[in-house]
Amino acid sequence: MDCKLTLSIDFGYKNLGLALVKNGELSNTPLFAATLHYDPNQLSRKVEDRAELRGMRRTRKTKKVRLRLLRERLTATGLDPATVQELVRFSKRRGYASLFEERERVSPKKKEEGETEVLFRFSREDFFKALENGILSLVPTEKSESVLRICEQVLNREGNRFNEVRPIRIEAPIIGARFS
C-alpha cells in the first residue's frame, strides 16, 4: 500500500488543531481530526525564551538589511569607498532607541527582584547629531547634504513606523482553523 499521509498542526491562542490527512490523486481524505484545549499561560511560559531569541534574530536581520541598503545608496552617490565604509561602520556600532518599544523592560531572570535593565544608552536624536558631525568631517561639502538625506531616510530619523525595513505588526486577532 503506497499512500502519503500529512499531519497538520494549527497553533492557536487557546486551541491546538490536529489533523491526519490521506493524500490522494484527486482529493485529500481526513483520517483523524481533533482540537486540544490548553491554558495559554502555561504555553507562554514555556515559549517565552524562544520568542525572545526570535526577536533578537529579527532585529539582527533588519539591521543587516538596513546597513546593506545604506551602503548601496551611499556608493551610488559616488563617495569614496573608504568614506562609505566609515559611515556604515559608524551606523553599525551606534544603535539607537526605537520609538516603538519601551526603553526599559523587566529581565526574565530579575522579575522576582523587580529590577529593570536599560536597553539603550542614548536617544535617536543624539545618534543623528553625532552622525551629522561625522558626515560634515568625512564627506565633501557639495555631497554632505545628499548623504545626510540618504542616512536620514534609510536609518529612519523621523521614526515613521511605515518607513521601517521590517514593518511593525498590527496586533490582529489570531484566526485558527477548526476541524470537524
pLDDT in tens, the chain (180 residues): 577 899 988 888 788 899 999 988 888 888 999 998 888 777 667 666 776 777 778 778 888 888 999 999 999 999 999 999 999 988 886 655 555 554 444 444 444 455 444 444 667 788 889 899 999 999 999 999 999 999 988 888 887 776 666 655 544 444 444 444
If you ran DSSP here, which 8-state letter would residue 100 be given? S
pLDDT at 111: 46
Residue type, 36: L
Q: Using alpha carbons only, give the angle 130, 134, 138 rounded to the nearest 5 degrees.
A: 175
Q: Which three cell numbers stand for residue 148?
A: 545626510
